[in-house]
Amino acid sequence: MLTKSLKLLTQKEKSVALSLLGYPENSIGRLMTPDYIAVRKEWTVKYVLDYIRENGENSETLNIIYIVDEKGKLIDDIKVREILLAELDTKIEDIIDGKFASLSVLSDEEVAINEFKKHNRVALPVIDSSGVLLGIITVDDVLQLAEEEDTEDIQKLGAVEALEEPYLEVPFGKMMRKRAPWLIVLFIGEMFTASAMSFFEHEIAKAVVLALFIPLIVSSGGNSGSQAATLIIRALAVGDVSIKDWWLIIRREALSGLMLGLILGSIGFLRVAAWASFSDVYGPHWLLIAVTIGITLVGVCLWGTIMGSVMPLLLKRLGADPATSSAPFIATLVDVTGLVIYFSIAAAILSGTLL
């Protein structure tokens, strides 16, 4: 009865009706359409074809036909080509196998995206807790939904709250409200970077040369952390990894961070050595400075990749969107800790010489 009533409504009226029925805002129930063809298993192929001709004009898709019992419970679905290739007097129950995929009406929209990736279908049926067929979701709806989800994640990766509207249609005031809070948070985070530098003011005053490498150190740590965060966020989104893989992820990223740090550390060491070979800019203790830079780059890259991989997993575990651990957020966090690592290593290596 519900399905028949919904079919009498326009698309806009259907959306309002589905919202009034109490389906959660981001549930599959809000996305489904009641425009489909359902038949009974005891019908013959000839009767089904006649039924499709009479009632299929407004169906969302005719590629898939659904089989229900007298109570509307979904029994199976079948491709229309199987019906067309069967003998006219064959009953539907003789060509179905009872194997079908379906979606729960209360499930999140992301479930639909994952199910369409798993099953090569143009449409999937939507059922209630009793198995009654309520509607279908077609692949074009899911593709649009996936695009919206990807757009939202990309915007969050750039430290912008999801716009939910086309860029040029967002009012200027709303755009500021979407962007300013994150910039304020990041600005406050960078203030801790300044505080960290002031904490090591004595070391900087005694060895001004250390300040020359601060941008190099913090950017390397931030970049490695942003890389790791982006990779893990996307892997979580497409289902390549899950929270239960946390140890494998951290172990893999720790190894990656160590190797990347060794590569950048070697380049940093060679850079100092090369400059020291034809100038006196680093003084007589250039070798100790080069070692300090090399070891620090290993440390900050290792720390950055670990933080970049842990934050998305932690947010996922807490029920938040992993994309919230955006690249700028990770970079800001690693900036502060990178300075601590840098000057701690410098204090240990250069103590008694420059410090």
Q: What is the pLDDT of residue 159?
A: 65
Q: What is the pLDDT of residue 20?
A: 42
What number is the average pLDDT over the span 202-207?
A: 73
Q: What is the pLDDT of residue 22?
A: 66
Whole-number percent of the chain with pLDDT over 90: 30
Q: Domain end: 105, 133, 153, which one?
A: 153
Asked whether residue 201 is assigned to any structural domain, the reply reads: yes
Pairing of strands 74-79, 64-68: antiparallel
Q: Domain end: 153, 168, 203, which one?
A: 153
Q: Domain end: 99, 126, 153, which one?
A: 153
Q: What is the pLDDT of residue 154?
A: 75
Q: What is the pLDDT of residue 141?
A: 81
Residues 331, 211 within the same domain: yes
Lowest-confidence pick of 140-154, 241-255, 290-304 = 140-154
Asked whether residue 224 is assigned to any structural domain, the reply reads: yes
Domains identified in the chain, total number:
2
Ordered DSSP codes for 309-348: HHHHHHHHHTTS-GGGS-HHHHHHHHHHHHHHHHHHHHHH
Residues 204, 116 within the same domain: no
Convert the pLDDT of each residue in 23-41 to its tens digit: 777 788 878 888 889 999 9
Residues 198, 99 within the same domain: no
Residues 78, 221 within the same domain: no
> Helix H segments across the chain?
2-7, 11-20, 45-55, 80-84, 109-118, 139-157, 172-199, 201-206, 214-238, 246-278, 286-317, 327-350
Asked whether residue 57 is assigned to any structural domain, the reply reads: yes
Asked whether residue 113 is assigned to any structural domain, the reply reads: yes
Residues 197, 94 within the same domain: no
**Range of 237's domain?**
192-350
Q: What is the pLDDT of residue 106?
A: 87
33, β-bridge pairs: 136
Dist CA 45 CA 62 (whole Å): 15
| Cα-only R_g, the chain | 30
As a whole number, the mean pLDDT across the chain is 84
What number is the average pLDDT over the span 293-318?
A: 93
CA angle 31, 32, 37 (to 5 degrees): 160
Asked whether residue 101 is assigned to any structural domain, the reply reads: yes
Q: Residue 125: enclosing H or E segment and its boundaries?
A: strand 123-127
Residues 105, 202 within the same domain: no
Residues 11, 89 within the same domain: yes
Q: What is the pLDDT of residue 262?
A: 95
- CATH, residue 338: 1.10.357.20
> To 10 degrees, what angle do helices 139-157 and 214-238 make?
160
Lowest-confidence pick of 124-133, 144-153, 262-271, 288-297 = 144-153
What number is the average pLDDT over the span 108-118?
A: 82
Query: Is residue 234 predicted with pLDDT exceeding 80?
Result: yes
Asked whether residue 255 is assigned to any structural domain, the reply reads: yes
Query: Is residue 73 predicted with pLDDT exceeding 80?
Result: yes
Residues 129, 241 within the same domain: no
Residue 77 φ/ψ, nearest 5 degrees: -130, 155
Residues 39, 136 within the same domain: yes
Residues 139, 197 within the same domain: no
Query: Is residue 321 predicted with pLDDT exceeding 60?
Result: yes
112: helix, strand or coil: helix
What number is the average pLDDT over the span 68-94?
A: 91
Residues 209, 146 within the same domain: no
Would you mind telling me the total number of residues written for the chain in this entry? 355
Q: Write the single-letter amino acid at 77.
A: D
Convert the pLDDT of each residue in 247-296 to its tens digit: 999 999 999 999 999 999 999 999 999 988 888 877 788 899 999 999 99
Our measurement of the distance from residue 132's CA atom to the centroid of its chain's CA atoms, rounded to an integer in Å, reads 32
Torsion of CA 47, 50, 55, 57, to 10 degrees: 140
pTM of the model: 0.68
Dist CA 91 CA 45 (whole Å): 6
Pairing of strands 64-68, 38-40: parallel
Asked whether residue 183 is assigned to any structural domain, the reply reads: no
- CATH, residue 37: 3.10.580.10
108, β-bridge pairs: 27
Residues 312, 245 within the same domain: yes
Asked whether residue 244 is assigned to any structural domain, the reply reads: yes
Query: Is residue 204 predicted with pLDDT exceeding 80?
Result: no
